[in-house]
Amino acid sequence: MAVQHYSGGCQCGAVRYEVDVDLDRTAVCNCSRCGKLGSIFAFAPASAFSLSSGDGRTTEYLFNTGKIHHLFCTTCGIESYALGTAPDGTQTVAVNARCLDGVDPKSLHPMEHDGASR
């Protein structure tokens, strides 16, 4: 697939964004949060992400090490993206591929990440 441009956002539309991301490199995690949500994350540098609407319309949830800023819509509760830092120090965005317009989650082949053991 390679890097492509996508639009996405939450269920109610209050939070919308644009992102350039490679959907061949997605991941699912079995930690206590991700396992319950069923998110499929695709990672991109923060510079490849632009929030179109919703500034001030999200709230943050931090847990475990507090390194990933899980942001969810204050209206519908959907976490369409999260912010963090990659191991190499790059500011990173993790978009929930289930929240990208026109993307069929069944077409993705996410890598499994064992967050429950960390």
d(CA 107, CA 24): 10
For position 1, what pLDDT does the model report?
A: 61
Residue 65 has pLDDT above 80, yes or no: no
Question: Which whole number is the average pLDDT over 20-26?
Answer: 95
Q: Could you tell me if 48 and 19 are in contact, meaning their C-beta atoms sit under 8 angstroms apart? A: yes
For position 31, what pLDDT does the model report?
A: 83
Tell me if the domain spanning 3-111 has CATH number 3.90.1150.10.
no
Question: Which whole number is the average pLDDT over 4-30?
Answer: 96
* Domain layout of the chain by residue ranges: 3-111
Band of pLDDT at residue 35, cut at 50, 70 and 90: confident
The amino acid sitting at 62 is: L
